[in-house]
Amino acid sequence: MNGFKQFMLRGNVLDLAVAVVMGAAFTAVVTALVKDLLTPLVAAIAGSPDFSAIAITVNGSKLLLGDFLNAVLAFVMIGTAVYFFVVLPVNTLTARLRRGEAPPDPTTKKCPECLSEVAIAARRCAFCTSALPHHAIN
pLDDT (mean) for 3-25: 79
Q: Quickly list H helices, the chain.
A: 2-9, 11-33, 39-46, 65-82, 88-97
pTM over 0.95: no
Q: How many CB atoms lie within 10 A of CB 109?
A: 21
Q: How far apart are CA 120 and CA 122, in angstroms?
A: 6
Domains and their CATH numbers in the chain = 2-97 (1.10.1200.120), 104-138 (no CATH)
- CA 1/CA 69 separation, integer angstroms: 51
Please report the pLDDT score of residue 57 as a whole number. Answer: 92
pLDDT digit string (tens) for 49-89?
677 888 899 999 999 988 888 888 888 888 888 899 888 99
Average pLDDT, the chain: 83
Check residues 68 and 38 and name the one with the higher pLDDT: 68
> What value does the mean pLDDT take over residues 3-11?
73
Given this model, what pLDDT does residue 11 score? 66
Residue 135 confidence class, pLDDT cut points 50, 70, 90: low
What are the residues whose beta carbons fall under 8 Å from the beta carbon of 90, sequence distance 6 or more? none
Dihedral sign for Cα 130, 132, 136, 138, please. Answer: positive
Is the pLDDT at 48 greater than 80? The verdict is no
